[in-house]
Structure 1
Amino acid sequence: MNSVYITSTPGVQVEMNPLEPTNLKEVENDLSLNHDLNLYNFVIILNRETREKNIEVTKQEKLNFNAITTETIPIEEMPNRRTNLLDLTTAIECFTPIYQFFLTDNDFWRATNSLQLDETIGILASKELKNKQNA
C-alpha cells in the first residue's frame, strides 16, 4: 500500500494510507474501523496543519484528485451463496442489532450517530468548492 498526500489547500499535506481490499479476508481485518480512522485522522491532521501554519481552507481553482483512481481494482470473485441475495442496506440493518449487543448504549449511539464527521467533511469540501457567486 502506497501513501498518498491529499488536500487541495496549498501549504497543507495530509499523508494517508489508502485501503485497497481485493478480497473478503482483507475486509475481515478491521477494514471498517481503519476506514473510519482514516477519515477522522484526515480531519484532525488537516485542522492541526491549517491551525499551525495559519492557513484557511478556501476555494481552490485546481483540486487535488490524486487519491481517486479510475483503474480497475482486481477484486476476487465473490462466493456464490444463498446469503448473496442481501443488498448492503439490508445487511447493515441485520447487522446493527448484533453490533449494538456488543457495545455499551453510549458507544452504540455515538457510533451510529457519527454524522458530525460527515458534516465536517462536507463543510471542508464546500469551502474548497465554493461558487464564486457565493464567495
Structure 2
Amino acid sequence: MPDAISAGAATAMTAAPFLQRREIILAMMALGTGTFCDESDTAGTTYRTAADWLNVHDGEHVERLIRFDLDALHGEDVTETVADAWLDGFDQSPEAEHRLPAFVRTSQAWERWCADFGRQRRSFSQAVHGTLNHRQQFGTCLR
C-alpha cells in the first residue's frame, strides 16, 4: 500500500521558518528617558529558527521584539521565542543575570530557566550519608 502522505504534504507539515523573506524584526528599546524602535535589516532573508536570527543580531538593549509582516502589515511579539533561544546557549548561573540582554532578563523564559536551574541544583545538593563516622573519615587527630 502506498504511503498516504505525499511529498508535498510532508513538506507542508514541517514547521514554518522563524522569519520569512517578507518579514522584519522591530526591536523596541528603552534608552535614557525614551523608547525607540529599530528595524532589523532582515528584509529578503529567511531565518529558520530564532537561534539563527540571534547568530546575526544580539539585541543588547532590546526590551521587546516584534516580527512584522510587511505584506500583511501585521506584527507579532516574538520576545519569548527569542529569549528561549538565547537561553539555550546560556551555561552560567542565575547570579550572572547582569550579562543578559534586557529582553531576556524581563522574560518569562528567564523565570522558567531559573526555576529549572533551581530544580537541577536541588537534585545534586542533597546530603549524602555514608556509613563512616568522622573519626573513620578524617582520622583520630580531630577532637
Q: TM-score interval w.r.t. the shorter chain?
A: under 0.3
Greater length-normalized contact order (CA 8 Å, ≥ 6 residues apart): 1
| TM-score, length of structure 1 as denominator length | 0.25
Structure (1 or 2) with the greater strand fraction: 2
Greater C-alpha Rg = 2
